[in-house]
């Protein structure tokens, strides 16, 4: 796990009033499930910092790649996910997108958390950071 990246995500993309609470969740391995539950449901995310990808259809992957590459942080990303096989993994963005599409409760962090892609529970569940 990359606690530093997860802390940066919380400080940038979680509602300010809830940040301390979530920082506590990730610092205690026994409370990680609570943090991951938030990802699944999207509660406490600052949605003003994301754009809805609803309607992007087949262009969704292109939008994610374009955003990540525009940030000039390389092709690496960090995954936070309710899926234990993916949670805490670092991999190329292209590989990560292939693995996470249609997997709810998953977050990709680009570079040093300058950008993020969140996929929560349906029906409106795909958001890209602004």
Residue of higher predicted confidence among 85 and 125: 85
Supply the range of the domain harboring residue 54: 3-129
Report pLDDT digits (tens) over 11-66: 999 999 999 999 999 999 899 988 888 878 888 889 899 888 766 555 667 777 77
Q: Is the pLDDT of residue 71 over 70?
A: no
What pLDDT is attached to residue 57? 59
User: How many structural domains is the chain composed of?
Assistant: 1
Write out the DSSP string of 76-125.
EEEEEESSTTTTT-EEEHHHHHHHHTT-SSEEEEETTTTEEEEE-SSSS-
Predicted TM-score (pTM) of the model is: 0.86
Q: For residue 126, is pLDDT > 80?
A: no
């Amino acid at each position: 796990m990359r606690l530093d990246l997860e802390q940066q995500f919380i400080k940038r993309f979680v509602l300010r009033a809830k940040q301390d609470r979530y920082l506590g969740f990730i610092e205690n391995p026994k409370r990680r499930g609570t943090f991951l539950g938030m990802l699944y449901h999207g509660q406490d995310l600052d949605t003003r910092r994301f754009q809805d990808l609803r309607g992007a259809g087949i262009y969704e992957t292109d939008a994610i790649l374009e955003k990540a590459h525009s940030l000039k942080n390389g092709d690496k990303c960090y995954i936070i996910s309710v899926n234990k096989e993916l949670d805490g993994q670092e991999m190329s963005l292209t590989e990560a997108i292939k693995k996470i599409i249609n997997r709810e409760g998953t977050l990709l962090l680009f570079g040093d958390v300058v950008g993020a892609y969140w996929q929560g529970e349906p029906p409106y569940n795909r958001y890209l950071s602004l």
